[in-house]
Amino acid sequence: DGARIGQGSSKIRRSGTTCTELLSESEYPEEQVASTSVEAIPTKPRDDDTHYFDSYSYNEIHAVMIQDSVRTSSYATFILSNPQIFKDAVVMDVGCGTGILSMFAARAGARKVFAIEASGVGVKAEQNFKDNGYEDIITLIRGKVENISLPDGYTHVDVIISEWMGYSLLYESMLDSVLFARDKFLRAGGLMAPSQCRIMANLVEVQALSRKMSPFGIMFTRFNMSSMAKKSTMMHSSKWSRQMQFFTNDELIKDIPIPTRNIQNLDFSSPFVLTATRPGKAHALLLYFDTWFTTDGADVPSDAEPTIAKGEGDVITTDILQIKARPS
């Protein structure tokens, strides 16, 4: 029998606050710190919407997402392998970014695609549509999906696609906007892609991660930095390591069926128990998520295993995103 490692509850909050900001608030309560610093001039509260959309105006973050071969190939495989869904369909892409999903839909035969984007990268997406010959099929709509109307007499769409998943699935809180789009724009019987996501947990041992998250005892040898080391392990990391060794069986934290989930139910607590399958030293709690695309939007069985789409060999996006060099 495995030894029971721990029991607790995971509260997933829909917040625009970063993990480091949350840690700063919880680690050092104001009443416990005797300040010796000069009082700073109060700053205006941050406009989270502006901060969020500005962060998506640069190429780097979109390059990371497109180059995630599992992620991009999963969308491409579903869209391009199901012409019965996308042929002559009206499609909405919520948070289109560079427009890659919109172009997949157009390539699959969509009659019309509405690409919604509130950040500055929308200008580049619109140019991508023109450069690839889709400007008559794909219409870019600048703004938040909560504030837009569809042009040209359209009121509803047949399919909503979106690459909304963040770290641990719900980081960035974009699912709210996707569900809003579903309730306002998706016709009865329309399809959401992806259709279902599950947040999973496991305890892992990974020495490299442990060293990365506890650097102070190694780097600073001439001064006492123990006050930093005390809380330095309470950090998040979004890196995956092939050196990870699992301690427990995968535990379901939350199952989210996208076609039926209510926006009001996105704040939740989920009690869970992780039971060790071997002895050892756990360095981290691993949170990850599985994503499903179904052709009918139906829930997948509880024991369903995800299939990984691999973009090996001929990269599926090479004939869509053309790269041109300037003459030397």
CA angle 260, 262, 266 (to 5 degrees): 120
Q: Does domain 51-197 have CATH number 3.40.50.620?
A: no
Hunting for tokens 């950090």 — which residue is that? 235
| Alpha-carbon distances of 137 from 94, 217, 274, rounded to whole Å | 16, 58, 49
The answer to whether 117 is a known catalytic residue is no
* pLDDT interval class at 86 (50, 70, 90): very high
Which one of 30, 135, 163, 251 is the catalytic residue? 163
Report the alpha-carbon distance of residue 282 to residue 6 in Å, rounded.
11
Hunting for tokens 């949170």 — which residue is that? 287
Residue range 116-134: mean pLDDT, rounded: 93
For 252, what's the count of Cα atoms within 13 Å in the CB-facing half-sphere?
9
**Token pair of 162, please?**
């979106």
Report the alpha-carbon distance of residue 50 to residue 120 in Å, rounded.
11
Which one of 21, 172, 251, 312 is the catalytic residue? 172
Res 169 pLDDT > 80: yes
* pLDDT interval class at 133 (50, 70, 90): very high
The answer to whether 312 is a known catalytic residue is no
**Token pair of 215, please?**
């650097």
Counting residues of the chain whose pLDDT is more than 90, the rounded percentage is: 41
Report the alpha-carbon distance of residue 187 to residue 159 in Å, rounded.
8
What predicted TM-score, i.e. pTM, was given to this entire model?
Answer: 0.71
For 13-66, the pLDDT digits (tens) are 333 333 333 333 344 444 444 444 444 455 555 555 554 445 444 456 545 665
